[in-house]
Amino acid sequence: MIFLLRIFLLISLFLGLFNCNVIDQLTGKNNKDKENENNLILLALVASSAGCDVGRSGFWTVDFITGEDFCLPVTKVAEGSTFTIFEETGLGRRRSSFNIPDPNYSFIISEIENKMLSNLRPALGNASDVNRDGKVDIIVRDMSSFFSGSYVAGYFNPIDLFNLPGNLDFKSNRREVIYIDGLALASSANLSIRRSKPNDILSVIAHEYQHLVRYQHEILRPGLSSLIELPRSQGELDLFLNTDSLWINEGTSELSSDIAGFGPQESRLTCLRGDPGFNCGNIVNGKSLYQFRNRILDYSISYAWMRFVYENSATTVAGRNDFILKTIQGTGGRRANNISNLIDIYKLSNKYNATDLGTTNVDVFGNLTLAFFGGFFKYPTSASKRIGLGGSISANGLLTNFTMPTELMDELNQPSSIQLVSNNPTTFDLEAGQMYRVSGAVPTLTANTNVHLLNNGTAEYVIMNGSMTENENGFTQARSLNFSENMQDPRFVFQKPIWNPPKTEKLAPYHASEYIYLRNIWNVRNWMLRN
């Protein structure tokens, strides 16, 4: 039973049950012209023996309403030496109906190849090339008109790197593909350009590019240059199941947008300082760093923490990029697939010092995170800290030497709605990585070595659980602690996942990593039951 369970969990990383339904299932298609256009597209694809002329006039992609895949008709709109951009057929007319200008695809290609790649390669390395064409395809499609508030800004699906037998219902584009929204995201990008801010389309491309580059290292196939076959052994299943912690992966993708030159991520920082329009009121109180449920606040804190650690890993850009490269590709037999390994790699960076940060991974993680929150809440260098069972000591060196990046502070200096919680409890129930900002002086607490405190006199303090266990083993109280929730336990995906992001007052871009993962599990489970 365990073996079969692992099979469907593993294959879920890269398989999907597809339904090649050419007629778009998006809204805004009630006019006669659109109906005629769909009929013509249907006839054209029925005439194709392959059903989907991948790489030319169609790509397999996700229908976020039905949860299945369909053949999306596309038109090539721009091509460079390393990237090709295809746009969903008819999307330009849809943008025009909303008075949204078309993206400048020639400019986007130029920015990718002349700016993004030159900035990201030292930090990420090179993408895989399973079809050996030396290119990554970008598919621009409508992923926003059928939802209000939140929408899918982009995604990467590992299934596109797999060689699936032709007699299966599962389909793969058999190439490196990134998917981005071409409606709401295009509108947001137009607004950002008018405000002299980084182009949001380019930020999303850089984000998804990190996922694409990272995947070959997650499955321990660096330099991947051929299509991946389905697993045939227990060892292969175990390997593919052991993917990176989602919060680290997503935080690094958000950071990649900054490294590429398209930052900072303004909407994430707006959320981080507690903007209720993004359902982010009082965001950090009770939030676990490890907990990732595909909410804007999850992206926000993962991004800000990774940016803080990146900036405090070295004194030069080259040194900081080398740190990130090692977290992705690995060094000394370990990769940053979890927080413990990430801290191991951080301790190799040239800005690490044991005097301020300690020597054990728990101490280093705790001190870095206290410095992060100390900078975020603007604590003076006169603040004191307590790591585990140790006594209260000065945090001067920590807060002086490990500071919040100026670029982030420029955004975080705006008014914040983050409140302090009451200093009534004498016992705190804390999950691993969870923290609270508390008013008043620190009470007498009995705690284990995982509990860390940063104390701003008698005014307030930050308390957090510094445990590095990212699972449900060992929940304790603020005399001890533990717990993490990366995503829904895939063993219990017994109903069809639905893309249902949180409703927000403001237009909020999401990435669909968790949904794609759970959707594939559901599809594979049903395929296994039929076979």
DSSP string, 181-249: ESSHHHHHHHHHHHTT---HHHHHHHHHHHHHHHHHHHTT-TT--SPBPPP-SHHHHHHHH-PPPHHHH
Q: How high is the mean pLDDT of the chain?
A: 79
Phi, psi angle pair for 161, to nearest 5°: -95, 5
Mean pLDDT within 217-243? 80
Q: Note the pLDDT of residue 49.
A: 33
CB 82 within 8 A of CB 94: no
- In the sheet where 136-141 sits, what is the strand order? 58-62, 69-79, 83-88, 136-141, 177-181, 150-155, 508-511
Cα 308 from chain centroid (whole Å):
16
The alpha-carbon radius of gyration of the chain (Å, integer) is: 24
Q: Specify the higher pLDDT residue, 50 or 77.
A: 77
pLDDT at residue 198 is higher than 80: yes
Q: Note the pLDDT of residue 452.
A: 87
pLDDT bin (cut points 50, 70, 90) of residue 33 is: very low
pLDDT bin (cut points 50, 70, 90) of residue 428 is: confident
pLDDT bin (cut points 50, 70, 90) of residue 10 is: very low
pLDDT digits (tens, 9 = 90+) for 393-405: 899 999 999 999 9
Mean pLDDT within 113-119? 97
pLDDT digits (tens, 9 = 90+) for 118-172: 999 999 999 999 999 999 999 999 988 665 566 788 999 988 998 877 666 668 9
Mean pLDDT within 13-32? 33
pLDDT digits (tens, 9 = 90+) for 438-457: 888 887 776 566 788 899 98
pLDDT bin (cut points 50, 70, 90) of residue 234 is: low
Dist CA 166 CA 172 (whole Å): 10
pLDDT digits (tens, 9 = 90+) for 271-307: 887 776 666 766 678 888 888 877 888 899 999 999 9
Spell out the residues 6+ positions from residue 79 whose beta carbon is closer than 8 angstroms to its own. Answer: 85, 109
What's this model's pTM, rounded to 2 decimal places?
Answer: 0.83
CB 272 within 8 A of CB 437: no
Spell out the residues 6+ positions from residue 24 whose beta carbon is closer than 8 angstroms to its own. Answer: 38, 90, 142
Dist CA 509 CA 192 (whole Å): 14
Q: Specify the higher pLDDT residue, 200 or 164.
A: 200
Q: Which of 3-7, 130-134, 286-290, 386-390 has the highest mean pLDDT?
A: 130-134
Question: 421: which DSSP letter?
Answer: B
Type of residue found at 342 = L
**Cβ count near 107 (within 10 Å):** 14
List the one residue out of 356, 362, 366, 359 whose CA is nearest residue 400: 356
pLDDT bin (cut points 50, 70, 90) of residue 233 is: low
CA angle 187, 189, 195 (to 5 degrees): 110
Cis peptide bond prior to 415, omega within 30° of 0: no
Q: Specify the higher pLDDT residue, 135 or 19.
A: 135
Dist CA 186 CA 170 (whole Å): 31
pLDDT bin (cut points 50, 70, 90) of residue 75 is: very high
Mean pLDDT within 2-7? 32
Q: Specify the higher pLDDT residue, 134 or 29.
A: 134
Q: Note the pLDDT of residue 146.
A: 61
